[in-house]
Amino acid sequence: MNLSSIQQEFVLHFGEMGSRWGINRTVGQIYAVLFLSNVPLNADQIVEKLGFSRSNVSMGLKELQAWSLVRMKHLPDDRRDYFTTPEDLWEIVRILVAERKKREIDPTLSKLRELEMQKPDSDADRHAHDLLSELRELIELLTGWYDDMNRLETERLKQLLSLGAKIQKLAGKADILSMVGRRKATDKITAGKGT
């Protein structure tokens, strides 16, 4: 059970890229193999395909589970653990974004809020304090927007994304409307649509 040249190359590439993301080469390759496989694989099959030690694969799978990037399955009459990636690519994207936010953004947001509690005592400190507030607000705007987007179902999300900047023309309009009153604005817009 070996990899075709296309698969091989993708797996290698994904391993390299893995190290630019938070995960290491091994974990990246394991993920790629699972991603490409149309059937769930157990740890020994991954060992066979990639040539890593059994324990290395075990640790890699553990890390992927910590990222919620793989699911464990069981086959009838087989005690071994099998693994797959979510079938839906968008689900994978959502997970990735959520996990990276959790690891790379949220801790900083907490820290900024915490630091804002302390009051500045010097002049340079006041400047720093202001910067941190500004940064916090910016991050809150971004994460708030992300939360909104993440609530949308995938088809809606795709619509929005493909609209791209064209949406911006609408935004100007919506901006005007929202000055008249939020209720009115949304009512008018959704009038014929029913939610």
Show contacts with a copy of itself in window 40-59 (CB under 8 A). Answer: none
| Binding map of DNA across residues 1-20, x = CB under 7 A, - = no contact | ------------------x-
Quote the least distance from Cβ 94 to DNA, whole Å: 24
Least distance in angstroms from the C-beta of 151 to DNA? 33
Would you count residue 26 as binding DNA (CB under 7 A)?
Answer: yes
Give Cβ neighbours of residue 70 (< 8 Å, ≥ 6 apart). 31, 34, 61, 64, 83, 84, 85
Our CA dihedral for 163, 168, 173, 179, rounded to 10 degrees, sits at 120
Binding mask 39-68 for DNA (x = CB under 7 A): ---xxx------xxxxxx-xxxxx------
> Among 89, 113, 179, 181, which residue interacts with a copy of itself (rule: CB under 8 A)?
89
Judging by DSSP bridges, how do beta strands 71-73 and 41-42 pair with one another?
Answer: unpaired
Longest dimension (CA), the chain: 70
Residue whose entry in the numeric block shows the structure tokens 């005007």: 176
Kindly identify the residues of this chain, within the stretch 137-176, that bind a copy of itself according to CB under 8 A. 138, 141-142, 144-145, 147-149, 151-152, 156, 158-175
Distance CA 129, CA 135 (A): 10
Given the complex with a copy of itself, which of 54 and 127 has the nearer CB atom?
127
Contacts of 81 (CB under 8 A, 6+ apart): 42, 43, 72, 73, 74
In the complex, which residues of this chain contact DNA (CB under 7 A)? 19, 24-27, 42-44, 51-56, 58-62, 78-81
